[in-house]
C-alpha cells in the first residue's frame, strides 16, 4: 500500500508528460491542475468517494494551483439522492469544496424548482451553463474565470440539449405545456454552437488566456449534433474539453478543432471510479490524465483520512443505512441489465429478465393490456439472493409514478418503432414490454422522425418493427388498448414519446416506480422472483431480425 501511495503522489506532483505546444505563458509560476468529476450519480462512497476526491485535491495543492469541477449528473442515481432530492449530495460537494459545476440532464430529475433551489440556496459553488435558458435568457452565468499568477482561465459550462427528453419534458414547460426552459436546441445544432461561441468569445474578451469547456455532452451517436466532438468542430477558441454524460473513460485524446488547433479532450467515466485531471504548465503545455481507483484499498485507509468530508459522508450514509439494507424480497436468479457473457450493458437495446420483470410489475399493478418500461429507467441489476430496498431504489431511482392510458394500436406501433430506432445501438427509450411481443428487423433503416426538441414526429418509411402480438393476437392499429407505464413517458413525453400526448388517463399517478416493483415482487410473486425470470435474456418478447427473410 505504501508503494501504491508513493506512486500515486508522485504522479500527482509530476503530472503531464504528453503536452500540446502553446504560446509560453510567463505569468504562471507553477502548474494549474483542473480536477473534475462527472456522472457520479450520488455514489458518494463509491470508487474514490468524495473523501478521496478531496484527498487528491489537497495532495495536488501542495505544489500546484488546483481547480475542482463537476460536470453534471451528481445528485441522482442512488438511494441517498432519491430520498433527499439530491440535497445530501450538494451538501457533500460543499464540504469537498467544489469550485464550479455544470448541470447534467439528471440534475433536473427531481423537478425544476428543486434543482434551482439547490443551485441557488444550497450549493456553495456556482453552476454554469452557456446554453441552459429560460425564455431564451441564460439561467446561469455561461462561465466563470479563475485567475492564477495573473493568468485567467475560463470554465464554460455546456449541457446537452438531449436533457429535454432524457429528463422529464414537462419540467421544462409552463402550465400551458409550452417550453419555457431550453438548451438552445435545433435540428442543425447551429443555435447550440452559437451560444457556446458567444460564451467563448466573451471569456476571451475578458482576458481569458485559456478556455476550458466543462461539458455534459458525450460522444454517443444518439446525442448528435450535440456531442463534444461536434462542439470542437463547430466552436473556435477552445483549448480543452472536460467531457461527461456518456460515462466514457478517456484519459486523453486530441481533436483538431474549428480553428485548426488541437483540442485536448478527457472523460472520467462514472461513480467516481476515476477523477479526471487537466494540467496547464507555466510554458503553456496542456495534458490530461485520469486518476483511476485501485479498488483493493479504501480511500480512507489509503490516505488515513480524517476531517469534515469523511465525517459528512459517514453522516449521510449512516442516516440511510438502516432503511437501505432492509430486505424486502428474494430472487433465485440474477436480474440483469448487462450481458452476463460480456458485461456490456444491453438494457437499452435488448430484452433482459429485469426488463421483463419491471414491465410485468406495471401491467400487474395496473391491470392494463400492455405495459412499457424504458430501458433508461432501469438502472441497476440485482444479484441472486436477498433483495434490499436499496437495490430496488437503484433499479428505479427517478421517482416516476405509474399511470395508465387508453391508446390505439397505431400509437403502440409508433412507440415501438420510436424505441427501436437505434437498435442495435443504445437508446434510453428502448421499450421493454409486458402483454406484447414484437420483432425488430434491424436491416431496415429507421425512418422515425424527430422534431427540433427530439420528440417523435412520425415515420416516413417502412417500419422496422413487425409481427407485433398482443395477448397472442396480431396488433390491431384501430383497436383501443390500455397501456401502463409512468408519468415520465405517458404524460410528460419522456424520451420523446409524444405520440401519447392527450391520451385518456385511466390511472393518473398512483404508485411510485420503485413501489410498483416492490409490490409486484412481494404480493404477486409471493416475495420470490423465481424460474419465470431465470433466463438473463428474457422470455423472447423482443426478437431482433438482422437479415431479410429469404424469398
Residue 461 burial (10 A CB sphere; 0-12, 13-18, 19+):
exposed
Interhelix angle for 87-96 vs 308-324, to 10°? 160
332 phi and psi, to 5 degrees? -75, -15
Read off the C-alpha cell for 417: 418503432
What Rg, from alpha-carbon coordinates, does the chain have? 24
Question: What are the beta bridge partners of residue 211?
Answer: 154
Q: What is the pLDDT of residue 220?
A: 85
Please give the Cα distance from 458 to 307 (Å, whole number): 56
Q: What is the pLDDT of residue 303?
A: 52
> Please, how many CA atoms are within 13 Å of residue 230, restricted to the half-sphere of its CB?
24
Please give the Cα distance from 192 to 19 (Å, whole number): 30
Residue 299's closest CA among 36, 55, 28?
A: 55
Q: What is the pLDDT of residue 17?
A: 35
Please give the Cα distance from 27 to 35 (Å, whole number): 21
Residue 22's closest CA among 262, 288, 233?
A: 262
DSSP-derived letter for residue 490 is H
Q: What is the pLDDT of residue 298?
A: 53
Q: Looking at the chain, which residues constitute the CATH 3.60.21.10 domain(s)?
A: 2-319
Q: CB under 8 Å to 135, separation ≥6 — which residues?
A: 180
Q: What is the pLDDT of residue 339?
A: 97
Assess contact for 508 and 383: CB atoms under 8 A. Answer: no
Handedness of CA 374, 379, 380, 382 (dihedral sign): negative
Q: Looking at the chain, which residues constitute the CATH 3.90.780.10 domain(s)?
A: 325-545
Residue 58's closest CA among 113, 110, 8, 1?
A: 8
DSSP-derived letter for residue 189 is S
Q: What is the pLDDT of residue 509?
A: 81
Q: What is the pLDDT of residue 488?
A: 93
Which H or E run includes 221? Answer: none
- 449 vs 86, 312, 414, 526, CA distance in Å? 34, 48, 11, 43
Looking at domain 2-319, its CATH architecture is 4-Layer Sandwich (3.60)
Per-residue pLDDT tens listing for the chain (551 residues): 333 344 344 444 434 333 333 444 458 999 999 999 999 999 998 999 898 899 899 889 999 999 999 999 999 888 788 878 899 999 999 999 999 999 999 999 888 999 999 999 999 999 999 999 999 999 999 999 999 999 999 999 999 999 987 777 888 999 888 999 999 999 899 999 999 999 999 999 999 999 999 999 999 888 899 999 999 999 999 999 999 999 999 999 999 999 999 999 999 999 999 999 999 999 999 999 999 987 655 555 455 555 678 788 888 878 777 777 889 999 999 999 999 999 999 999 999 999 999 999 999 999 999 999 999 999 999 999 999 988 998 999 888 989 999 999 999 999 999 999 999 999 999 999 999 999 999 999 999 999 989 999 999 999 999 999 999 999 999 999 999 999 999 999 999 999 999 999 998 887 889 889 999 999 999 999 999 999 999 999 999 999 988 87
* 70 alpha carbon, distance to own chain's centre: 13
Residue 451's closest CA among 501, 517, 395?
A: 501
Assess contact for 166 and 105: CB atoms under 8 A. Answer: yes
Q: What is the pLDDT of residue 168?
A: 77
Class of the CATH domain delimited by 325-545: alpha beta
Q: What is the pTM of this model?
A: 0.73
Assess contact for 466 and 378: CB atoms under 8 A. Answer: no
Assess contact for 68 and 275: CB atoms under 8 A. Answer: no
Amino acid at each position: 500500500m505504501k508503494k501504491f501511495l508513493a506512486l500515486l503522489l508522485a504522479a500527482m506532483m509530476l503530472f503531464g508528460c504528453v503536452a500540446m505546444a502553446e504560446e509560453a505563458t510567463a505569468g504562471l509560476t507553477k502548474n494549474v491542475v483542473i480536477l473534475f468529476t462527472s456522472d457520479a450519480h450520488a455514489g458518494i462512497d463509491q470508487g474514490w468517494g468524495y473523501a478521496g476526491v478531496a484527498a487528491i485535491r489537497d495532495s495536488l495543492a501542495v505544489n500546484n494551483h488546483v481547480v475542482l469541477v463537476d460536470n453534471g449528473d451528481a445528485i441522482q442515481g442512488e438511494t441517498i439522492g432519491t430520498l433527499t432530492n439530491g440535497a445530501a449530495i450538494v451538501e457533500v460537494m460543499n464540504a469537498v469544496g467544489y469550485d464550479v459545476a455544470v448541470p447534467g440532464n439528471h440534475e433536473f430529475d427531481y423537478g425544476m424548482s428543486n434543482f434551482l433551489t439547490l443551485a441557488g440556496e444550497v450549493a456553495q459553488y456556482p453552476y454554469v451553463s452557456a446554453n441552459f435558458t429560460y425564455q431564451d435568457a441564460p439561467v446561469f452565468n455561461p462561465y466563470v474565470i479563475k485567475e492564477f499568477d495573473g493568468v485567467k482561465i475560463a470554465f464554460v459550462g455546456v449541457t446537452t440539449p438531449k436533457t429535454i427528453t432524457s429528463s422529464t419534458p414537462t419540467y421544462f414547460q409552463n402550465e400551458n405545456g409550452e417550453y419555457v426552459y431550453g438548451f438552445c436546441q435545433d435540428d442543425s445544432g447551429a443555435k447550440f454552437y452559437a451560444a457556446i461561441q458567444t460564451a467563448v468569445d466573451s471569456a476571451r474578451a475578458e482576458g481569458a488566456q485559456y478556455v476550458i469547456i466543462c461539458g455534459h455532452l458525450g460522444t454517443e451517436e444518439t446525442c448528435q449534433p450535440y456531442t463534444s466532438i461536434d462542439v470542437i468542430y463547430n466552436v473556435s477558441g477552445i483549448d480543452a474539453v472536460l467531457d461527461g454524460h456518456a460515462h466514457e473513460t478517456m484519459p486523453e485524446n486530441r481533436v483538431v478543432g474549428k480553428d485548426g488547433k488541437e483540442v485536448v479532450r478527457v472523460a472520467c467515466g462514472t461513480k467516481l471510479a476515476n477523477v479526471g485531471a487537466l494540467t496547464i504548465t507555466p510554458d503553456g503545455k496542456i495534458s490530461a490524465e485520469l486518476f483511476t481507483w485501485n479498488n483493493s484499498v479504501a480511500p480512507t485507509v489509503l490516505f488515513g483520512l480524517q476531517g469534515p468530508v469523511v465525517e459528512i459522508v459517514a453522516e449521510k450514509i449512516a442516516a440511510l443505512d438502516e432503511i437501505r439494507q432492509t430486505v424486502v424480497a428474494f430472487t433465485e436468479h440474477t436480474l440483469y441489465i448487462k450481458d452476463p457473457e460480456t458485461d456490456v450493458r444491453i438494457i437499452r437495446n435488448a430484452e433482459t429478465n429485469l426488463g421483463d420483470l419491471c414491465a410485468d410489475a406495471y401491467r400487474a399493478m395496473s391491470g392494463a393490456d400492455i405495459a412499457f418500461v424504458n430501458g433508461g429507467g432501469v438502472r441497476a441489476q440485482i444479484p441472486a439472493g436477498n433483495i434490499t430496498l436499496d437495490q430496488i431504489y437503484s433499479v428505479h431511482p427517478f421517482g416516476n409514478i405509474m399511470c395508465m392510458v387508453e391508446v390505439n394500436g397505431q400509437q403502440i406501433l409508433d412507440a415501438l418503432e420510436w424505441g427501436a430506432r437505434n437498435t442495435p445501438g443504445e437508446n434510453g427509450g428502448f421499450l421493454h414490454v409486458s402483454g406484447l411481443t414484437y420483432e425488430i428487423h434491424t436491416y431496415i433503416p429507421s425512418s422515425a422522425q424527430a422534431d427540433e426538441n427530439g420528440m417523435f414526429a412520425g415515420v416516413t418509411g417502412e417500419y422496422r418493427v413487425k409481427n407485433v402480438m398482443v395477448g397472442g393476437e396480431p396488433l390491431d392499429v384501430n383497436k383501443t388498448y390500455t397501456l401502463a407505464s409512468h408519468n415520465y413517458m405517458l404524460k410528460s413525453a419522456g424520451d420523446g414519446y409524444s405520440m401519447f400526448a392527450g391520451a385518456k388517463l385511466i390511472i393518473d399517478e398512483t404508485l411510485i416506480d420503485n413501489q410498483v416493483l416492490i409490490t409486484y415482487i412481494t404480493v404477486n410473486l409471493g416475495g420470490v422472483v423465481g424460474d419465470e425470470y431465470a433466463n438473463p435474456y428474457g422470455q423472447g418478447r423482443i426478437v431482433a431480425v438482422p437479415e431479410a427473410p429469404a424469398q
